[in-house]
Amino acid sequence: MHWTKSIARCAIALSLGAAALSGGGQTTPVQATTQPVASISASAQNWWKNAVIYEIYPRSFQDSNGDGIGDLNGITKRLDYLKDLGVDAIWLTPCYPSPQVDFGYDISDYKNIDPQYGTLADFDRLVAEARKRNIRVLMDMVMNHTSDQHKWFLESRSSRTSPYRDWYMWHDGKGETATDKGEVPNNWQSDFGHSAWEWDEKTRQYYYHKFYIQQPDVNWDNPKIHAAFKDIIRFWLKRGVGGFRFDAITTLFEDPNLTDEDVLKDKDGKPYLNAYGDIALNDTRTNNLPRNHEVMQEMRAWTDTFGSNAFPGSRVLIGETYVPNIADLAAEYGTAEKPEFQLPMDTQVAFINKLDVAQFRARLADVETQIGDHTPLLLFDNHDNPRLDARYGDGVHDTDIQRALSTVLFASRGAALFYYGDEIGMKTTPPTRKEDVKDPIGVIGWPKEKGRDGERTPMQWDATAHAGFTAAGATPWLPVPPSAASINVEAEKSDPNSLLAWYQSLIRLKKANPAFAQGNDTMLDTANTKVLSWMRQAPGAPVVVVSVNFTAEPQTVYLSVPGSGGKTKTLLKTPGAPDPAWLGQFQLGPYGVYIGEVE
């Protein structure tokens, strides 16, 4: 749902260009195909260690009933596509009942399905059909806040003596009297603009909301909150879900002393202003506090007590972990005695937001060497940030750049998470007029902050009306971008040179090649500032080397693998990339990729 560090929403206004993988230049036994491939990566118990996870924004994936809003039956309809793509699990952003202020992240009932998306029976059918295709369904678990229309908050707001009063964060104002509400308790701000405190006239106190006013934070100092969320987790586990992605999980606790946040200042000592016109603040007193770990240790222990009635093996817990450094990311895994997430998101790599070889090399090396024997979860995209074209593209080579980034994603060690439409190169398409904005943060922050509509447009299935997302006579909840005429699944699935074909080939390599499935990463050619190169090495398997040119010019790379004879076999490459018989010095074209096996 949320980004808790401003860098995660650093957008660069660029547009999508076009380029293609040359079929003649692709010399590989791993062809794009619709046939499934068995993973050799891990036991069923540890299925997630080399998993490919696909984020679905249900409103925008597939509408099955012509109301212009995507739904669960629409997702079920597209499961064969996801199977052919090679997906192991789908993460659904919230589809619970909600007033839809934040399009589902303001939850009013955690144990049901919003009628816009279907019914619990539809959900059960989705889980069952996904299971037939060996795909797990992961739910979004939002524990920082509820909707202000949730029964807990309605009760909490009813009276200061309500038994639910301490389920939320209520505080007196500064200088409050019987007739004057006083000032807000402190300077804390909502991540979505302005004060994080909202006055309630009926009970004459302020409540705290880290996000929208309609999303009051729950009180994790109350043991009843712990019990309530464990009951919610149990409800969905019993329905066969494969795990959860925990939203905004680093924001559960705040400084109990309500100390003001520090003001962020420039080199001249002047305060910064954020996208909403507020004085920018640090968030060290409302984010990433140590007690978050206690909650996740508890939830992991609880989840681990449930066997799976859908698949053998463990349920996976994924964390939305925007943390400032690799040490804090490592802490999100917990310890052997008190484990937390199997897969906290590595946002250190995800939001570099520029093609900087040195930064990529350093952060990939960090996650390879600084998290112990844990599994990385790499990603580049999600529903809260402009798509890859806007953050990494140059408007000319965008498809080539997306091909290069996908190579980093799938050819590195660990699990890989990507966002619907990445595989076909969907463009960020923000609204051009304030009156067209659906996302409230775009209304609040316009024009500097246009909101997140641009990365949430409907999935582009074909070149028909509304891109095959909904019926021809319907009105999709967000407009289908003009780019859908050429960027769509139907056009790309029949083109062996498409970005979709590249994704399929990479995912097959990730699943079928022993070095990709099980090997460690070691950086190569580390003095090179233009090309990122590394090798994957697993015991008893041939080494695989990967080189990715991060520039629009041809670049020279030198690869050497200690202890090998240096003879190579090309597995996958882009047009113009070499097909060397031996390792050594060779040249990669603009944004070129070479993947080879070393004998």
Which residues are identified as catalytic? Answer: 247, 320
Owner of token pair 């484990």: 339
Q: Could you write out the DSSP letters of every residue in 442-455? A: HHHHTTT---SGGG
Amino acid at 86: G
Q: Say if residues 532 and 548 touch (Cβ distance below 8 Å).
A: yes
The residues, ordered by sequence, that sit 6+ positions from 151 with a Cβ below 8 Å of its Cβ are 108, 109
List the one residue out of 550, 558, 562, 551 whose CA is nearest residue 583: 558
The C-alpha atoms of residue 149 and residue 109 are separated, in whole angstroms, by 9
Whether omega before 542 lies within 30 degrees of 0, making that bond cis, reads no
Helix H, strand E, coil C: the string for 257-272 is CCCCCCECECCCCCEC
The C-alpha atoms of residue 473 and residue 488 are separated, in whole angstroms, by 20
The encoded tokens of residue 84 equal: 């052919």
Task: Please report the sign of the dihedral spanned by the C-alpha atoms of residue 454, residue 455, residue 458, residue 461.
Answer: positive
Count Cβ atoms below 10 Å from residue 252 Cβ, excluding itself: 25
Q: Hey, is 20 helix, strand or coil? A: coil
Which phi and psi angles does 215 have, rounded to 5°?
-125, 70
CA 194 to chain centre: 26
Q: Say if residues 168 and 219 touch (Cβ distance below 8 Å).
A: yes
Helix H, strand E, coil C: the string for 220-279 is CCCHHHHHHHHHHHHHHHCCCCCEEEEECHHHCCCCCCCCCCCECECCCCCECECCCCCE
